[in-house]
Amino acid sequence: MGSLRRGAITRRAFVSSAGVGGLALLSHPAGSALPGVPEEPSASILACVPLAAPGRGMTAARETVAALRRAGAAAAVVPVIETEHLTDAMRALAQWRQMMSEQTELCVPGLEPIDWAPRHRGGRVALIAHSHGVQWLGRDLSLVPEFRALGLRITKLCSGWRSLCADGCFEATDLGLTSWGRDVVRALNHHRLVIDLAYTGRKSSLDAMRVSQHPVVFSHVNAAAVHAHPLNLTDEQIQACAKTGGVIGVSAFPTLLADAGATIDDFVRHVEYITRLVGIDHVALGLDFDTRRTIRFPTDPLPTGPYQYPKGVAGFADLAGLRSTFAKRGFNASARAAIFSGNLERVFRQVWDAA
Partner 1 sequence: MVAVDAGLQREAHAMAADLLLVNGLDASDFGDVLLDSLRGGGVAACLVSSSRSGVGLFDELDSPHHAFLNARADRMALATSVADVQRIHREGRVAIIFGLQVADMVEEDVGRLVSLHAMGLRSSGLAYNIGNYIGSGCTELDQGPLSRFGVQFVEALQALRIVVDIGGHCSEATAFDALKHTAGPVVCSHTTARTLRNNPRAMTDGLCRAIADRGGVIGVAAFSYFLLPAGRGTVEDYLRHVDYLAKLVGTEHVGLGLDFILGKNTRGPVTDTASFPPGVYPQSWEEWIYPEGISDFTGLTTVIAGLMKRGYSQEEIARLMGENWLRVWRDIWGA
Task: Give the residue from 218, 326, 343, 194 showing the smallest Cα distance to 280.
Answer: 343
Q: 8 or 177, CB closer to partner 1? A: 177
CB closer to partner 1, 110 vs 133: 133
- Please report, as a single letter, which amino acid is at residue 122: G
Minimum distance from residue 178 beta carbon to partner 1 (Å):
4
- Least Å from the CB of residue 305 to partner 1: 21
SS3 percent helix, strand, coil of the chain, rounded to 5, is 40, 15, 45
- Close Cβ partners of 112 (under 8 Å, ≥ 6 residues apart): 352
Distance in angstroms (rounded) separating the CA atoms of residues 194 and 118 = 23
Element holding 75 (H helix, E strand): strand 75-81
- CA dist 278 and 246 (Å) reads 11
- Dist CA 285 CA 105 (whole Å): 25
Which residue lies nearer to partner 1 by CB, 156 or 227?
Answer: 156
**CB-wise, 204 or 219, nearer to partner 1?**
204
Q: Rule CB under 8 A: which residues touch partner 1?
A: 83, 85, 135, 138-140, 161-164, 167, 170-173, 175-183, 203, 296-297, 299
Instruction: Write the CA distances from 23 to 36, 47, 118, 171, 286, integer angstroms.
Output: 21, 6, 17, 26, 9
Q: Least distance in Å: CB of 207 to partner 1?
A: 8
Give the shortest CB-176-to-partner 1 separation in angstroms. Answer: 4
Q: How far is CA 185 from CA 39, 42, 103, 215, in A?
A: 40, 33, 34, 12
CB of 183 to partner 1, least distance (A): 6
Residue 52: CB minimum distance to partner 1, A: 21
Closer by beta carbon to partner 1, 184 or else 284: 184
Query: Toward partner 1, which CB reaches closer, 5 or 162?
Result: 162
Cα 181 vs. chain centroid, distance in angstroms? 21
Nearer to partner 1, 84 or 345 (CB): 84
Of 103, 125, 106, the closest CA to residue 116 belongs to 125
Q: How far is the CB of 174 from partner 1 (least distance, A)?
A: 8
